[in-house]
Amino acid sequence: MNLWLGEKKHKLIMRYGPPDKISEDGAGGEILVYITNYAAPFPANNTVNTISNAQQFKMYFITPEGIIYHFLVKYQQVPPTQVEVIRLP
């Protein structure tokens, strides 16, 4: 992703589309955030499979002139929105 360093903001948007979020960087520029959701099977034990949910945040830091100067990727686990309780005999 360092390939984007020094490139213009409009090229990034043309490639990936509009960002999911935009924040200020505290220096007059902005941060474009692209979020990807993941769900992957995770075997908890021999009889029960669960799904592990996570989000990937790709953050592109943009100067006031529209140049990408920093890139950061973070991952965050997403807690389940529903819990299924199964009574075993």
Domain of residue 54 covers: 2-78
- Residue 88 resides in a domain: no
- Residue 72 resides in a domain: yes
Question: Rounded to 5 degrees, what are φ and ψ at 28?
Answer: 90, -10
pLDDT tens, 44-59? 555 555 666 788 999 9
- Residue 89 resides in a domain: no
pLDDT tens, 64-89? 999 999 999 998 887 766 666 677 77
Alpha helices in 2-88, H assignment, sequence order: 9-16
In the chain, the number of structural domains is 1
Alpha helices in 1-89, H assignment, sequence order: 9-16
Mean pLDDT, range 28-51, rounded to an integer: 75
